[in-house]
Amino acid sequence: MMLDALVSVFLLAGGVLLLIAAWGVVALPDALSRQHAATKAGTFALAMVCIGAMLFALDWAWSWRILLILGFLLATLPVASHLLARAAVRESNLVPDASQVRLIGDDPAQASKPGSRT
Amino acid sequence: MMLWLATTLLVLLALASCGLATWRIIQGPTHADRVVALDIMLAAAVGLCVAASIYTARTVFLDVAIGLALVGFVATVGWARVVDKGADQQGADQ
């Protein structure tokens, strides 16, 4: 019963984090920040779901498969997110200058004018 | 019962994030955004596979999830390369 509750908490945390990642992809203002939201929160969400499944089964047939998924994700997602960020910067000609980064709620037309942010 | 409820909620949340990602794929505006949204869809698909294996108590769906993770990585890297080269081409044209 206790274990069921723990598994449920892990699964729900994974689902909510996945939704937060997707919401970040919709709400954030440019490709770089969207990539940031998707890859970090997405990886964490999948890790939560996988740990939940591992606790659900408590069996090596499940555990090694889940560890394989987790290890593979942790090894490859940094590479994928780096390449995505690189593609985003080069495609949209984003200036890598922290003072120029737009935030949620900023007007894109105003943010492009010099001196609009103080 | 609680576990069933949690798994169902996980499925619903994953489907909702798929919907949000679809909106971003349609909306754009750059190709990099679409590839990022595909990444979210892949994460949701792996989550759905794990949920399916919990529903049925079988490991076959975990094998599907392994395959999805492998294919998704290659797809993301491939698309990122294509977008990168496309940006290069655009820069050369201007």
Q: Would you place residue A90 in the very low, low, confident or very high pLDDT band (cuts 50, 70, 90)?
A: confident
- Total structural domains in chain B? 1
Chain B interface, best mutation among A1, A2, A3, A11, by max B CB count within 10 A: A11
Q: Which residue did the predictor score with more confidence, B60 or A104?
A: B60
> A103: which 2 tokens?
């935030």
> A93: which 2 tokens?
């000609």
Using one digit for the tens of pLDDT, what is the confidence trace for B71-94? Answer: 988 888 888 888 777 766 665 555
In a domain, residue B94? The reply is no
Using one digit for the tens of pLDDT, what is the confidence trace for A50-86? Answer: 999 888 888 888 889 899 999 988 888 888 888 888 8
- Give the ranges where chain A is alpha helix by DSSP (H): 2-27, 31-57, 60-92, 108-111
The pLDDT score that the predictor gives to residue B83 is 79
Do residue A76 and residue B73 have CB atoms under 8 angstroms apart? yes
Q: Would you place residue A2 in the very low, low, confident or very high pLDDT band (cuts 50, 70, 90)?
A: confident
The complex's ipTM works out to 0.85
Domain of B69: which CATH number?
A: 1.10.287
Least CB–CB distance from A25: residue in B3, B36, B76: B36
Chain B interface, best mutation among A17, A32, A34, by max B CB count within 10 A: A34
Asked whether residue A23 carries a pLDDT value surpassing 60, the answer given is: yes
In a domain, residue A99? The reply is no
- Total structural domains in chain A? 1
Using one digit for the tens of pLDDT, what is the confidence trace for B30-71? Answer: 888 888 888 889 989 999 999 999 989 888 998 999 999 889
Question: What is the domain extent for residue A50?
Answer: 1-90
B80 neighbourhood in chain A, CB within 8 Å: 80, 83-84, 86-87
The pLDDT score that the predictor gives to residue A118 is 41
Do residue B76 and residue A5 have CB atoms under 8 angstroms apart? no
In a domain, residue A85? The reply is yes
In a domain, residue A111? The reply is no
Asked whether residue A88 carries a pLDDT value surpassing 60, the answer given is: yes
Asked whether residue A107 carries a pLDDT value surpassing 50, the answer given is: yes
- Give the ranges where B1-94 is alpha helix by DSSP (H): 2-27, 31-56, 60-93
Q: Would you place residue A102 in the very low, low, confident or very high pLDDT band (cuts 50, 70, 90)?
A: low
Asked whether residue A98 carries a pLDDT value surpassing 80, the answer given is: no
* Cα separation, A110 vs B11, whole angstroms: 40
Do residue A90 and residue B13 have CB atoms under 8 angstroms apart? no
Using one digit for the tens of pLDDT, what is the confidence trace for B14-35? Answer: 999 999 999 988 987 888 888 8
In a domain, residue B75? The reply is yes
Question: What is the domain extent for residue B54?
Answer: 1-85
In a domain, residue A61? The reply is yes
In a domain, residue B33? The reply is yes
Closest by CA position to A33, among listed A106, A104, A97, A91:
A104
- Whole-model pTM? 0.80
Residue B25 in contact with partner chain A when CB distance is under 8 A: no
- The alpha-carbon gap from B36 to the nearest alpha carbon of chain A, in Å, equals 6
Residue B48 in contact with partner chain A when CB distance is under 8 A: no
* Long-range contacts of residues B24-31, Cβ cutoff 8 Å, at least 24 apart: B24/A25, B24/A26, B24/A34, B30/A31, B30/A88, B30/A91, B30/A92, B31/A87, B31/A91, B31/B79, B31/B82, B31/B83, B31/B86
In a domain, residue B90? The reply is no
Averaged pLDDT score across all residues of chain A = 80
Do residue B32 and residue A11 have CB atoms under 8 angstroms apart? no
* Cα separation, B86 vs B82, whole angstroms: 6
